[in-house]
Structure 1
C-alpha cells in the first residue's frame, strides 16, 4: 500500500501520515494546467506529531513525487482539530525563479528551454521528445519561469510531463501511448457524458505569406472526402519563417474531425497514464472512439473508489481553450499598460 509522507519546510523531519481520511485522499491532474493532492487529517493520538508537521509550504511526498502545501483550512471544533490541505506539484515552484534577460530571433524549443533553465536556481532539468517547429521570438524572457514555460507550450504545441523536477516536453504527435484499454458502457462504467461539437470542423487551412516562403496550404484528404471543402481561418503568424515549421503548425491547428470530449466515472480501479489513448465503446451509438486522457481525479488510497476521467480527441479541449483565454487577457493587459 502506498504511503503518504509529510515533510516540514526545513526538511528536518519526514514522517508517514497515519490515521487520516484515506477514502477522500485525492489526486487531480489536468494536462498542462494543474497537478495537485487534496487531503483531510484530524489530529489523534496516533498522528499528532505528523499532524503538527502539516503547515503552509510543508511537503507531501506521495508515489515518488513531491507536492507543496499551498492551501490549508484549519478547523477547530471543541477538542477536535482538522486540517484540509491542497498541495501542488513541485514543478509549479518554478514560478519563484525569474529570467530577466530576453532573446529574439528564430528559435527552436530547445533554445528557449536553455534560456529558461540554464541558470535556474531550483534544480530543474528538462528534455524533449518529438519534432517541433522553429518559431520567431521577440523579447522572450523578462518573466517568471512558469509563465515562460506556458509560452513555450502554446508556441510549440507541446505537452509537459513532470517527474519531480525533471520536465519532459512532448510534441503533440509523440505524446501518449496507444493502449489496448477499453472503456465500455455498462461494463466498466455506467456513467459517460459525451460532448460532441462540429462547430470548428474544417478540412483545409492556409498559412500566411510571411515573405520568407510562399503561402502553405494543408488539406486533410480523408476529411475532405468525407466532409467536403471547409476552409479554416488562415494562420497569420509572422514568427514562422520556414515552410516546414508552418506545415507543422497547420497540421496541429486544423480540427478535421468532430471534437468529442468525455467525462467518465469508472466502476472499477483503472490504470491509465497521462496522455494515454483508449477506446470508448458505446453500442447504443455504434461508436468506437479513440480518445486521449487529458485529466483525472483519482482516489489512489481507496480501492473501492474508482477514478473520474476526462478524455478528448479535440485539438483544443476545454482546458487549453481556458488557458488561451487567460493568455489573451494577459496580452491585452500588457498592451494596455504600455
Structure 2
C-alpha cells in the first residue's frame, strides 16, 4: 500500500490519517487530481486544521493544490471533502499578454519559449522526440493552461508533468509497449464499450477574417482571347509564348480581376495592363513543374467593362532553368481562368480568403454518402486559408466517439500510456490498447481501479471492426439456434403452446435462469431453462411431469383428460 499523503505548508509537513474515499484520477492532457474525505478526531486535529484552499498535498511524490474544500458539521462530528489538482495546473496563473501578429511558423521549442518562457511560477519543460513545425496566426493572449493545450493540440504532444517540470512526448510514440494483458474473467470485470454518433459530422465550412471592401469575388469564366506576336506555338494542348513581347488580350466586366495562370519550370514573367493604366507583373516560374496558380491582379475598379493586355516581358532571374541563352516559355491557360469581382450587394460578407469547405474522407460511410454538416467555424483572427483548413480538419468529429473502460482486479501497477493486450472473448476483443485514463483507490482494497483505454481512431476502428464481426457471427448463431429449436419441438408441444401468441413476437434474452422473452408492456414473459417452460416465472407450462394444459388453455372441462410425455416417448 502506498504511503499516506502529506499536508504541506510553509512550516509543516504532516501525514494525513483517518482519510477515506481517497481516489486519484488522471486523463491524458485533460485531468490529474486527487480527492478524499476526512473526519476530525483527537489524533488528527492539527492536520485537519492545516487543510485549506491552495495548500499543497503530496501524494506518491507529486504535489497537488487544494482547489475545493467542503466542510460538513452534523454536531456529532466535523468533516471535510477535499479536491486537489496536480500542481502543473497552477501554470494557468501565468499569462502571456503579447501577441505575435500575423501568420508565423513555430517549432515546439520556440512556441514554448514564447508562451511559457517568462513565467515566474517555477515551471520548466523537457521536450522528448521530434515534432514538425506548425504555422499559427496571432499567437498569444493565452494563460499558461491554454498555452499547454495549444502545444499539445497543434504539435500532437502529450504532457506528463513531474511536479513543475512539464514533459512533452510525441503522441505517436508516447508510452510503453508491455507484455501484460487485461483478460476478461481473469483480471478485469464490468467492461463497458460506448459508441456514440451524436456529434458525428462529415463536412464543415470555415470563414476567416472579415474585411471591409467595396467588392467581392464573383466567378471564373472563359474569355475571348486574342493572341498577338510571332512566338506563339501549340505545345501539349496549350498555346505557349516563346518570344518576349508575345501577348494576349481579353476584356471582362466587373470591379476587379484575378486569373488562374499555368506555371512551369521554364516560366518567366507576364505583365498585366488594365485599361492601359493599371499594371501588375507576375512570375510563372515553378520549380515543381506545370501547375495552375491563382494571381490577384487588381481590385477596386469602376463597375464597367475593362480591357486587358498581358505581355511576356522577361525571364525570371531566380529561375536556374532559363539562364541566357536558354529561353523562357510562358504557357497560356485555357478554359474558365478569368476571375472577376463585382460590387458588394446588401448582405454580402467579404473575407480575406474565400470560405473553406472541408469534406471528410469518411463521408461515404455515413448517411448514405450525403454530407452531414457541422456548424461553420468563423474566426476573425485567421487570415491564411491553410491555417483555416488545418483547424477544420482538427475540429471536425468525423468518426464515432468511442469509450472503452473496465475494472482492473489485480494489484499490479500500470502506467500512463502503457500499451497492454486487451482480450475479451464474449466481446470478441483481441487487440492492443493504450491506457489514456484511470481512477485508482489506493487505500481501499475492496475497490478495483477503473481503466480507460485509447480512443484513437486506429485503436477504436479495430474495436468497431471486431464488434461488427462479432455481431454478424452472433446473428448467424442465433438464427441457427432458433431453427434447430423449432425443428425439434414435438408436434404435441407446438399445438399445446399455440395459444401463447404474444411470445412469438417478443424479444429474446439470455440470463442465468435460461432463455426468456423480454418483458414489454402488454406481453407476458415466456421463460425456458432448467427443463421448465414457464409463463411470467410462476405459471409452469411444461416440466418433467408433462404439459400443464390447465395453465396453457385455462380451466379444463371436467371430462377432459390430462396428457403427459415421458422419457420413453410413450403417451398416456
When Rg is computed on C-alpha atoms for both structures, the one with the higher figure is 2
Which of 419, 422, 432 is 1:280 aligned to?
A: 422
Instruction: Give the C-alpha shift of residue 301 in structure 1.
Output: 2.0
Aligned CA distance change for structure 1 residues 317 and 53 (closer, same or farther; 3 Å): farther
Provide the rounded CA distance (Å) in 2 between the counterparts of 1:18 and 1:133.
Answer: 48
Q: For 1:11-64, what per-residue CA distance to the aligned partner results, in whole angstroms no more than 9, with x for missing partners? A: 12111111222xx11001111111100010100000000000001111111101
Provide the rounded CA distance (Å) in 2 between the counterparts of 1:282 and 1:185.
Answer: 5
In the other structure, the counterpart of 1:82 is 79
SS of the residue corresponding to residue 11 of structure 2 reads coil
SS of the residue corresponding to residue 386 of structure 2 reads coil
Aligned CA distance change for structure 1 residues 201 and 146 (closer, same or farther; 3 Å): closer
Instruction: Give the C-alpha shift of residue 258 in structure 1.
Output: 8.7
Runs of 4+ in 1 over 4 A off after TM superposition: 196-202, 212-215, 252-260
Provide the rounded CA distance (Å) in 2 between the counterparts of 1:257 and 1:42.
Answer: 47
1:59 aligns with 2:48: no
SS of the residue corresponding to residue 147 of structure 2 reads helix
1:293-308 correspondence runs (5 A): 293-308=435-450
Instruction: Give the C-alpha shift of residue 177 in structure 1.
Output: 0.8
- Structure 1 unaligned runs (5+)? 203-211, 216-229, 319-338
Maintained 8 Å contact 2:116/2:147 = no
* Corresponding residue pairs, total: 283
SS of the residue corresponding to residue 111 of structure 2 reads helix
Aligned CA distance change for structure 1 residues 197 and 45 (closer, same or farther; 3 Å): closer
In the other structure, the counterpart of 1:7 is 8
- Superposed CA RMSD in Å reads 3.5
User: What TM-score does the superposition give when structure 1 sets the normalisation length?
Assistant: 0.74
SS of the residue corresponding to residue 181 of structure 1 reads strand
Provide the rounded CA distance (Å) in 1 between the counterparts of 2:115 and 2:95.
Answer: 9
Aligned CA distance change for structure 1 residues 237 and 133 (closer, same or farther; 3 Å): farther
Give the number of the structure with larger relative contact order, counting CA–CA contacts within 8 Å between residues 6 or more apart. 1
1:238 aligns with 2:386: yes
SS of the residue corresponding to residue 130 of structure 1 reads coil
SS of the residue corresponding to residue 172 of structure 2 reads helix
In the other structure, the counterpart of 1:309 is 451
Provide the rounded CA distance (Å) in 2 between the counterparts of 1:145 and 1:176.
Answer: 25
Aligned CA distance change for structure 1 residues 147 and 255 (closer, same or farther; 3 Å): closer
In the other structure, the counterpart of 2:70 is 73
More helix by percentage: 1
Aligned CA distance change for structure 1 residues 314 and 119 (closer, same or farther; 3 Å): same
User: What TM-score does the superposition give when structure 2 sets the normalisation length?
Assistant: 0.45
1:133 aligns with 2:132: yes
Instruction: Give the C-alpha shift of residue 286 in structure 1.
Output: 3.5
In the other structure, the counterpart of 1:187 is 186
- Structure 2 unaligned runs (5+)? 203-285, 293-368, 374-383, 461-572
Aligned CA distance change for structure 1 residues 88 and 237 (closer, same or farther; 3 Å): farther
Aligned CA distance change for structure 1 residues 254 and 101 (closer, same or farther; 3 Å): closer
1:37 aligns with 2:38: no
Instruction: Give the C-alpha shift of residue 316 in structure 1.
Output: 9.5
